[in-house]
Structure 1
Amino acid sequence: MSEAAGHPPPHALLRPRIAIPFVLVALIWGSTWYVITGQIAEVPPSWSITYRFALATPAMFALATIMRQPLAMTWRGHALALLIGLTQFCGNFNFVYRAEQHLTSGVVAVMFGMLMVPNALLGWWWLGQKVTRRFLLGSAIAIAGIALLLVHEANVARLGGNVLLGVALAVGGIMSASISNVAQAGRVGRAQPIVTLLAFSMLYGTLIDAAIAWALAGPPVIPSSASFWSGTAWLALAGSVVTFPLYYGIIRAIGPGRTAYNGVLVIVVAMLISTLIEGFQWSLLAIAGATLGTLGMIIALRARQV
């Protein structure tokens, strides 16, 4: 990505129109990892995901209407929305929710910090966005930090179930999210209003989620607890309707590679929330990992091309 192509300079993240959404998304998504653990305790994961996006979809259409974004899209736009629905709002979340049945939410959150790698590589292959040495250096440092955080989580967490399956599911979620991130940043995606594209993507994703849920878990399981539905509302409205338009807007502004560094901040926020709510104990590994991850993010975000 270059300035000549009309993209922002390396310090674009410091601009309020990018910095504010960047931080807001990290704060909200940092909280969702903890909330998800309560969602999979009461109902099958697929139905929990279906409820989340069944609530988020009409809210996203309402947001598009309020913002006066046209609801009409070309067939190419709908084809892209179907791809995003399949990868982001179905594949990604089905993989993630199931991964948390085998790994702690902290481990899965930390693994998602690696989203920068497939985002950058797919952006280079699919969109022709260059990857510089500075970005690679920052990514290497950040991955080293993520590795330390993973070691820390593995040392302190009680990992149950099939750990290897959990890791494989988390990787599936990362790849699904990356495909969606890069696909919407292409020519067809940029031609669509962001909120409209997301509304139809969520609609298609919800329908696929419901079909998968019925096939794997049978008829809908309706939980009665207020905590489940309040968590669902937070995930649907704050964790989806508020954040995805902001996140996709950042991708279009600074590219999928640098935008994925939002995941590093998400990890730090998630760990801070865990410290306040769950009594998370910081170790030298955790401090070193968070420091390296943040340092790598800063180096990569200052790269001129990603």
Structure 2
Amino acid sequence: MTESKGGVVIPFILVTLIWSSTWIVIRDQLAAVPPSWSVCYRFLLGGIGMGLFALARRVPLRLPPEGLVFAALLGLAQFVLNFNFVYRAEHYLTSGVVATVYAMLLIPNSLLAWIAFRQPVSRGFAVGSMIAISGIALLLLKEYRAAPVSPQAVLLGVALSVAGLLSASAANVMQGMEIARRLPMASVLTWAMLIGSAIDAVYACVTVGPPVVEWRAGYLLGIAWLGIAGSVVTFPLYFGLIQRMGAGRAAYSSVLIPVIAMLISTLVESYRWTTLASLGALLAVMGMVVALRTKSA
């Protein structure tokens, strides 16, 4: 990272710490409210908060037609598909394991950036990625063997996690487009979150019926944390890192997030470490570090 510390390191640390905590909060959101409604509430609050932030900074919220189309596509990928997949994946897998699958974000980000923008992918990066995938496979094998429900449910959780991962990666790489650099990020994110929450609401109405709200304090505080800290604070920082560093390098935070998330899962969800799981986590982190070092070079 050659950028100034204030411009890169501080946002990187904030994004990593906040997003590490959001995985366990998402888990708590699954008790009584259908996932699509929880996602809708999160990004409705996030969109309002982002809009207020833009107004406070005197950033115009009005976008040209092509800007609204871009925001809508970004909202569909990031705030509809990605999070609907994530919330459902946590029905079947612990939050730490889902976060560990998301540690592979560096891989599709770099590959899609190579396809779209011809950013190079080295042999060392490919080797590191394969090591990481092997580690993730061992973690998931442990989940498959110890599944409290059916092993098929674990496979479904994995499939949902991967679908969410690819949706998030598509949204990440969109930040490398010329239009993303030309438009005010706060305005784009405001509309992306609001349009995304509207699509979430329509989908929820069609699939599960009218809005459901759990008035439990933990649920409401969770929505507030996810909507403000986990969305309004982090997404501008993270997408700013993508535009400055590239989608592959910005995803280095995904190396650290699952480590912290797995520790939280151990404390809160009583995740039990086995030799297989420990080896898998070690390989996943080692592989990502190898890929990181190679990409940095």
TM-score, normalising length: structure 1: 0.88
Residues 22-41 of structure 1: pairs in structure 2 closer than 5 A:
22-41=12-31
Q: Tell me, what secondary structure is at the counterpart of 1:303?
A: helix
Summarize the Cα distance change of 1:220–1:282 in structure 2 as closer, same or farther, 3 Å threshold: same
Q: Which residue of 2 aligns with 1:3?
A: none
TM-superposed deviation, 1:109: 1.7
Q: Distance in 1 between matches of 2:118 and 2:287?
A: 23
Match of 2:279 in 1: 288
CA contact (8 A) 1:89 1:206 kept: yes
> Quick check: 2:25–2:222 contact (8 Å CA) kept in 1?
yes
Displacement of 1:153 after TM fit?
A: 4.0
Distance between the aligned counterparts of 1:156 and 1:69, measured in 2? 51
> Who is 1:6 aligned against?
none
Aligned-residue offset at 1:14: 8.3
Which of 249, 260, 271 does residue 269 from structure 1 map onto? Answer: 260
The amino acid of 1:120's aligned partner reads S
Number of residues of Structure 1 aligned to a counterpart in Structure 2? 296
Tell me which amino acid in the other structure corresponds to 1:112: Y
Say which of 54, 68, 72 aligns to 1:78: 68
1:214 equivalenced with 2:205 (yes/no): yes
Distance in 2 between the 1:209 and 1:168 partners? 20
Q: Which residue of 2 aligns with 1:125?
A: 115
Which of 201-210 and 271-280 deviates more? 271-280
- Name the CA distance, whole Å, in 2 between partners of 1:27 and 1:110: 15
C-alpha contact (below 8 Å) 2:67/2:188 kept by paired residues = yes
Deviation at residue 281 of structure 1 after TM alignment = 4.1
C-alpha displacement at 1:155, in angstroms?
A: 4.7
C-alpha separation in 2, matches of 1:243 and 1:57:
13
The answer to whether 1:177 aligns with 2:168 is yes
Asked if the contact 2:76/2:196 (under 8 Å) is kept, the reply is: yes
Relative to structure 1, is the Cα distance of residues 114 and 185 closer, same or farther in structure 2, using a 3 angstrom cutoff?
Answer: same
> 1:123-152 CA deviation, whole Å, 9 max, x = no partner?
111122111223223322332333333334
Deviation string 1:47-77 (CA, Å, 9 cap, x unpaired) is: 1111111111110011112233232322221
Per-residue deviation, 1:200: 0.8
1:47 matched to 2:37? The reply is yes
Amino acid at match of 1:253: R
Equivalent residue number for residue 54 of structure 2: 64
> Does 197-206 or 185-194 show the bigger shift?
185-194
The residue that corresponds to 1:189 in the other structure is 180
User: What amino acid is the match of 2:133?
Assistant: I
Question: Per the alignment, do residues 117 and 90 of structure 1 end up closer, same or farther by CA in structure 2, a change over 3 Å counting?
Answer: same
Instruction: Give 5+ residue unaligned stretches, structure 2.
Output: none
Question: Offset at 1:157?
Answer: 5.2
Deviation at 1:117, TM superposition (A): 1.9
Under a length normalisation based on structure 2, what TM-score does the superposition of the two structures give? 0.91
The whole-number CA distance in structure 1 between the counterparts of 2:140 and 2:9 is: 27
- CA gap of 1:48–1:293, structure 2 versus 1, over 3 A, is same
Aligned identity (percent) is 51
